[in-house]
Amino acid sequence: MKKVFIDTMGCQMNKSDTERMLGMLSHFDYEETKEPEQADLLMINTCSIRQLSEDKAFSAVGTWGKWKKEGKNIKIGFCGCVAQQKAQEIFKRAPYVDFVLGTHKIYSLPEIIKRINNGEKVCECTETNSTEDDLAKKYEIERVKGVNAWIPITEGCNNFCTYCIVPYTRGRERSRQPEIIIKEAQDALDAGFKEITLLGQNVDSYGKDFKDKNYRLAELLKDLNALEGKFRIRFVTSYPTDITDELIQTALELDKVCEYFHIPMQSGSTEVLKAMNRRYTREEYAEIVKKVREKIADVTITSDFIAGFPGETEEQFVETLTAIDEFELDYSNVAAYSPREKTVAARWVDKYIPEDVKNERFQRLNKKIQENCLKSNLKYVNREMEVLVENFYEHKGKMINTGKTRNFKTVHIPCDKDLTGEFVNVKITGAKTWYLKGEII
């Protein structure tokens, strides 16, 4: 067996692509290693959301390039969103790279491996409109054993938010066929996975592009919920205005669908949202969150925000801080604005916010998010909750199991027995900013 190391950056979609690539490579006698020094094939699966991650990717392959120069017999692959965007340019900046593979063509990987082994340099970044499900059938996924299986249900995005590179790197939105998704879920359950997370840039617009059927996320959830056995279902990421009443009702009624919605707001200011080309106002977002909270008890709602979007005033930024409080957002990811080539906002150079102001807003946002996260966690102290254990490790001489509640709260449970993959009932005994403490009952 040869060894492959894949460094995965960015979002869950990239993690899922990595799983698929490892699955394909396993048919060609490659096994995964976590140690880059031991690998025959080194790949980086890149993210282009921020300049920083792009720079990190080039720095990582630079190290591998040095090993190659020193005489190590290795092959290097540059994959993912930066690959899709830069294509042949990658070879100019990193001539030691053997292949560049974009996000649309990951199923070309076996062919690419044959070609690079014959000494070719390969760049495969052509766009396609298919979800390549036929090829997916050919290369059954071999997931790394675990608790949570990530299953993409849509690829790409049609929204063209003015700051976002995704429509350029992942293409237009395409939904995968339900029968393929259901089979993938069944295979994961048969392999012992206990949680299925459906992935999409806008997971709640699933099925909008089906011409031959009226089958949307709600229908898919019902079909998955009907699969045998005890397991959980989650779906991320939701675009606020694509969350329908039917979807909320379905999530409420299905016992395996968890009480968790990730609904990025991006800014609390309606003017900034307009500049971002987000298709909702602050009030409309508030309405959606209210509906979800009213229907689903104990629901966790998380969000994403951008600090220092071009032209954002101090007053508009403060509206984001107040939104986090007002809508009681349980947790949010925050990023300082980073201009990305090709996007509309990147052209608004004269409106760029100075770095020091942007960073200060970033810090203030993070502080607000931490406060709210602790407030949200404190609500669960003394409650009984079900936890799906995901990890078991030693910390300061004690053995700890960690896992997630149905509503996506992390719980640390001191216990000498490894309970990974088990559902356990715990009493919540304490709350910290990022996690709850629990005792098995």
**Judged by CB under 6 A, which of 6, 109, 153, 157 binds ligand SF4?**
157
Nearest to 351 by CA among 339, 342, 363, 359: 339
**Segment lying near ligand SF4 (by CB under 6 A), choices 25-33, 162-170, 288-296, 383-391:** 162-170
| 117 close to 111: Cβ distance less than 8 angstroms | no
Largest CA distance in the chain: 63
Per CB under 6 A, 16 contacts ligand SF4: no
Stretch in the footprint of ligand SF4 (CB under 6 A) among 101-109, 158-166, 176-184, 352-360: 158-166
229: CB partners within 8 A, 6+ apart: 189
DSSP string, 23-45: HHHHTTTEEE-S-GGG-SEEEEE
Contact 431, 437 (CB under 8 A): yes
Closer to ligand SF4 by CB, 166 or 199: give it: 166
- Interacting residues with ligand SF4 between 325 and 364 (CB under 6 A): none
Q: Is 160 in the site for ligand SF4 (CB under 6 A)?
A: yes
Q: Which is nearer to ligand SF4, 201 or 376 (CB)?
A: 201
Please report whether residue 161 would count as binding ligand SF4 according to CB under 6 A.
Answer: yes
Q: Which of 53, 159, 244, 270 binds ligand SF4 (CB under 6 A)?
A: 159
Report how many residues bind ligand SF4 under the rule CB under 6 A.
10
Helix (H) or strand (E) run with residue 2 in it: strand 2-8
Q: Select the span of 85-93, 161-169, 285-293, 402-410 touching ligand SF4 (CB under 6 A).
A: 161-169
Q: Contact letters (x/-) for ligand SF4, 239-258, by CB under 6 A?
A: x-------------------
Cβ neighbors of 149 (< 8 A, separation 6 or more) are 143, 184, 185, 188, 193, 195, 196, 197
Listed in sequence order, the residues at least 6 apart from 253 whose beta carbon sits closer than 8 Å to its beta carbon are none
Is the bond preceding residue 237 a cis peptide, omega within 30 degrees? yes
Q: Contact between 164 and ligand SF4 (CB under 6 A)?
A: yes
Binding mask 66-105 for ligand SF4 (x = CB under 6 A): ----------------------------------------
Work out how close the CB of 238 gets to ligand SF4 at its nearest, in angstroms, rounded to a whole number: 10
Which residue has tokens 């080194």?
42
Quick one: which of 167, 200, 207, 438 contacts ligand SF4 (CB under 6 A)? 167
The two three-digit tokens of residue 93, written as one number: 């900046």
Applying CB under 6 A, among 4, 43, 166, 336 the residue interacting with ligand SF4 is 166
Among 20-28, 152-160, 346-354, 355-363, which window interacts with ligand SF4 (CB under 6 A)?
Answer: 152-160
Alpha carbon distance 196, 16 (integer Å):
12
202 binding ligand SF4? (CB under 6 A): yes
Rounded to 5°, angle at Cα 151 from 384 and 126: 150
Distance CA 440, CA 171 (A): 46
User: Given the rule CB under 6 A, which of 31-39, 163-171, 240-248, 406-414 is the region that contacts ligand SF4?
Assistant: 163-171
Does residue 235 interact with ligand SF4 by CB under 6 A?
no
CB of 276 to ligand SF4, least distance (A): 8
Of 118, 243, 132, nearest in space to 177 by CA: 132
Should residue 162 be labelled a site residue for ligand SF4 when binding is judged by CB under 6 A? no
Cβ proximity to ligand SF4: between 160 and 434 the closer is 160
Kindly tell me which of 160 and 210 has the beta carbon lying closer to ligand SF4: 160
Which 279-308 residues touch ligand SF4, going by CB under 6 A?
Answer: none
* Nearer residue to ligand SF4 within complex by CB, 150 or 239: 239
What are the C-alpha distances in Å from 419 to residues 147, 389, 403? 11, 6, 10
Helix (H, G, I), strand (E, B) or coil at 147: coil
Edge-to-edge strands, sheet with 331-336: 260-262, 300-307, 331-336
Applying CB under 6 A, the residues found at the interface with ligand SF4 are 157, 159-161, 164, 166-167, 201-202, 239
